[in-house]
Amino acid sequence: MSYDAIGGALAVRSGNLIMNNLEILNSLRSLTRSAPDATSLLVDVLLWLRRERPHYHWVGVYLLQDQELVLVPYVGKPTPHTRLPLNQGICGAAASTGQTLIVDDVNADPRYLACSLETRSEIVVPIQHQGRILGEIDIDSDQPAAFTSDDRDLLEAVAALLAEKL
């Protein structure tokens, strides 16, 4: 049985129960309230996203420090791109413009900085508070064109939650 969504209720994919966006956000709101500090919150949020969205193969958060994006927690394979200037990569482009970027085919985008040979698509969502960029959520998928407006909606809401705590 394989349904992408069942009208706002639980979704079933390949026999596994996964949460819909609203359920994930409600859980993450509770986590945000109880987290002792920002670092543990970021780790918990990334673990939730990785677990609930099987097409998220690498998930990380970069924070903007002295005009540089610094990778704080991540879940997935190690990447060489632990510090990125704002004029480099898809990450730099998203942070510079303050806009979510979805790249369906990373190998066709000249801005792309590879972190894994398996990665095929990427979404980067800025974390901002009152117009100021604090950092961004970066997610890679091994599937081409893995990210839809559903992922954008979820991750922009997660970014807004994180902004309250950073």
Interaction mask 50-89, ligand SME, x per CB under 6 A: ----------x------------------x-x-------x
Minimum distance between the CB of residue 86 and ligand SME, rounded to whole angstroms? 11
- Find the part of the chain contacting ligand SME (CB under 6 A) among 20-28, 110-118, 126-134, 147-155: 110-118
CB neighbours of residue 46 within 10 Å: 23
Q: Is 100 in a helix, a strand, or coil?
A: coil
Q: Is 164 in a helix, a strand, or coil?
A: helix
115 binds ligand SME per the rule CB under 6 A: yes
> Which one of 140, 146, 155, 159 is in contact with ligand SME (CB under 6 A)?
140
Minimum distance between the CB of residue 147 and ligand SME, rounded to whole angstroms? 13
Total residues found in the chain within this entry: 166
Query: 38 or 113, CB closer to ligand SME?
Result: 113
CA atoms within 13 A on the CB side of 45: 33
Nearest residue to 141 (alpha-carbon basis) of 58, 76, 67 = 58
CB neighbours of residue 77 within 10 Å: 13
Q: Which residue is nearest to ligand SME, using beta carbons?
A: 89
CA atoms within 13 A on the CB side of 141: 20
Interacting residues toward ligand SME by CB under 6 A: 60, 79, 81, 89-91, 112-113, 115, 122, 138, 140
